[in-house]
Amino acid sequence: MARAASIAPRGGPGHSSSTALRALRVLEEIGANPAPLSVADVAQRVGIDPAVAYRMLVTLFGAGYLLRDASGRRYRLSHKLVSLSRHLLVESRRTAKGRQIVSVNFEIGERSRLHYTAIGKAVLAFQDSAFIERVIAAGLPRRATRTITGSDALRAECARNRAQGYAYDDFEFAEDMRCVAVPVFEPGGKVESGISISGPIPRFDHAKLDALRDRMLVAARKLSERLSGR
């Protein structure tokens, strides 16, 4: 049975688009369920014809707001929606004591250059060569002491990270901070996200990073299997 509409038009009759409202209802229903939904699921929950539900799902998928599972028949939200809301969420900040970073808090949906963060490098390593070359062509500005700024160095870093399945940030994003990140694989081997942990140098030596990395690889593998419907 379809749920009562949670989105109510504010402009009254003649000032709203029923198609747009239905599309938003579709996104709400998919977002409210931890498991991906099929066309039939969406049609029943939103209270629309399956043919209409199919067209909306295909349109939202094509626009990048939805992802399909491995079967190609069920849909879930993509990270594009998170990015859209980034300006409404808590502003990023750093809490520091003296000159040493104690913690780093990032705004949800915040974007940084791929070449100077562990998560960026973990994702970049699993893109095709054309994508990597576009990143290089856009410039590799220095962010911290050990930021990779050379094109050959970044290509080598991508190859190394792809082979080992994880990436480190060692004074590349900020002074006195280290980070480790692992990629999360979506259906078809696509990588658009990952898991990362950052911390100040005194607490995050290389042994600590390696221990965290091993646990993160296990978590990322389980998450990748879930996203792929396995």
Residues of the chain short of pLDDT 70, as ranges, are: 1-16, 82-111, 228-230
How does pLDDT run across 18-30, given as a tens digit for each residue? 888 889 999 999 9
**Tally of CB atoms within 10 A around 81:** 14
User: What is the SS3 string spanning 189-207?
Assistant: HEEEEEEEEEEECCCCCHH
**Where does residue 68 fall: left (phi above 0), alpha (psi -120 to 50 degrees), or beta otherwise?**
beta
Domains of the chain are 18-78 (1.10.10.10), 87-227 (3.30.450.40)
Write down the pLDDT at residue 79.
75
pTM score of the predicted model: 0.58
- SS3 state of residue 110: coil
CA-CA distances (angstroms) from residue 58 to 26, 35, 112, 186?
12, 18, 30, 18
Residue 165 near residue 150 (C-beta atoms within 8 A): no
pLDDT of amino acid 51: 94
pLDDT tens for each residue of 137-148: 999 999 998 999
